[in-house]
Chain A
Amino acid sequence: AQSVTQPDIHITVSEGASLELRCNYSYGATPYLFWYVQSPGQGLQLLLKYFSGDTLVQGIKGFEAEFKRSQSSFNLRKPSVHWSDAAEYFCAVGVIEGGADGLTFGKGTHLIIQP
């Protein structure tokens, strides 16, 4: 079965600074990869997804992520964070064959923005 690891439970970044959130997955082939964001009291919003092709994908709100097969990673980046980016970020994996377990989510990274 697939698994997802987000090594950082909390990350604090100054407003205007760059951001990188880490995500590592375990799966025997290339999975579908997603990043979602959750603001307090809200559901999850899709930021971006990777299925195949160009390993650098662009998403909404100025986010991008890079798929690195050799490292089994799909890290999320943003060149300059805004206070409104403070939220919980989840990396998720889906299996190519359309598995029986739904998406597998990481435990999330809580992003704190310092003024």
Chain B
Amino acid sequence: KAGVTQTPRYLIKTRGQQVTLSCSPISGHRSVSWYQQTPGQGLQFLFEYFSETQRNKGNFPGRFSGRQFSNSRSEMNVSTLELGDSALYLCASSLEAGDNSPLHFGNGTRLTVT
């Protein structure tokens, strides 16, 4: 069974631009979560989607948004990029929503904002 696939692996953007990251979950998994990983803040929860609905959202500004499609694939969007948005963005899928459904992570998208 294929794992979680994130595209692209690397992105370089300029301040003020917007970016869209994509995540394909493991087949049969209905929940997709997004995390931001930086050296200073570590892993921080962005949001979780289940059955095309945002179930939870972390403490990030409204510039960070996401969506989930009927096939469970998910995208996250960051608008008006700032230098501080440079990070590894990790997508994780799980069978069900909720913290007791173990997460399976993709290899991430490395975003660099210049």
Check: A34 CB closer than 8 A to any chain B CB. Answer: yes
Closest to B47 in A: A102
Q: Are A100 and B42 in contact (CB under 8 A)?
A: no
Nearest-neighbour CB distance to chain B for A113, whole angstroms, equals 22
Residues from chain A with a CB closer than 8 A to the CB of B107 are 41-43
Q: Which residues of A28-69 are within 8 A (CB) of B?
A: 31-32, 34, 36, 41-46, 49, 51
Residues from chain B with a CB closer than 8 A to the CB of A102 are 33, 35, 45-48, 56, 58, 99
Interface size on A, residues (CB 8 A): 27
28 CB contacts below 8 A, A to B, read A34-B102, A41-B107, A42-B107, A42-B108, A43-B90, A43-B106, A43-B108, A44-B90, A44-B92, A44-B103, A46-B102, A46-B103, A46-B104, A51-B100, A94-B100, A98-B98, A99-B56, A99-B99, A100-B57, A101-B45, A102-B35, A102-B48, A102-B56, A102-B99, A103-B45, A105-B35, A105-B43, A108-B42
